[in-house]
Amino acid sequence: MPIARINNHEMYYEVHGSGPPLVCSGGWGTFCHGEDKHVPRGLTDRYSVVIFDHRGLGESSDDLSIPSSMRLYADDIVGLIDHLGYDKFHMLGMVGMGACIGQEIAINYPNKIRSLVNMGCWAYADEHFKGQMEMFTTLHGEVGFYAFQLSVVLHSFTPEYFNEKKNLLLGPHGGWKDLIGKFQAHKRFVNACVTHHAIDRLDRVKCPTLVIHAGRDAVTSPRLTVPVEKAIPGAHGVHYDDMAHVVAGKEQKIRFSNLLMDFFGKH
């Protein structure tokens, strides 16, 4: 089992494919333990894709005496990259926390990051976003995981996709299943999300950056993603008016994967 001692915790990780290193980081979940099928198609054909369990999730431990923050999770990734012996790497921050972690890496480790993709991102938490995070946490803690799951799924997929895939999205094998029995980790993730504030530091990001704006995203709508693009020098933005918080459905996944392959291939 690939576990390394990184930044005061035991960190589980996997590497799939071969080629230049590329870190794929999601939000409140993992691409490990058989979930690498959700890594955008084609990436493992050209890159060594590094995936991992965030601290407190899956097989990774945590040190609860250390306050959670995006910088903490960013330091974990950079420590893992150093452990693997890589120099510079591409960073794919997919949906939520992973995108903000990528910002912190680009700001604080500019010599480590070759390029950055941000989707489902924000550079500050406004009151609406904080309210959603409080709602999700309250549902999970006071009502239970499945009430939280229903709420976050309804916020993260289009009504059309939910109507078609409801039975797959809900239940013990559905969305955000990695948080079952992991309420403490969830609370620490939320704390990192609502305290993340990088808007006045994003001008320090020097690597090529792609920011994706999802027009039907009910969590991190363009009101939060557009300021990220505007604040990063030379960042390129792409608008997908039909996408929600999570890329879903064959057509969307192909379009998204092609965009990533083109962007990473240029850098």
Assess if residue 8 is contained within a domain: yes
**Residue 65 tokens, joined:** 């005496």
Q: What is the pTM of this model?
A: 0.94
Q: Is residue 144 part of a domain?
A: no
Domain containing residue 252? 3-124+197-266
Domain annotation covers residue 79: yes
Q: What is the pLDDT of residue 219?
A: 97
Residue 1 clears pLDDT 80, i.e. is over it: no
- pLDDT single digits (tens) 166-208: 999 999 999 999 999 999 999 999 999 999 999 999 999 999 9
Which of 50, 91, 47 is closest to 208 using CA atoms? 91
The answer to the question of residue 135 being in a domain is: no
Give domain status of residue 237, yes or no: yes
Report phi then psi at 266, rounded to 5.
Answer: -75, -15
Per-residue model confidence as pLDDT tens digits over 25-60: 999 999 999 988 889 999 999 999 999 999 999 999
Return d(Cα 212, Cα 225) in angstroms, integer. Answer: 7
Residue 84 belongs to domain with CATH number: 3.40.50.1820
Tell me if 93 is assigned to some domain.
yes
Mean pLDDT value across residues 226-250:
96
Tokens of 192: 């990192």
Q: Is residue 172 part of a domain?
A: no
- Our count of domains for the chain comes to 1
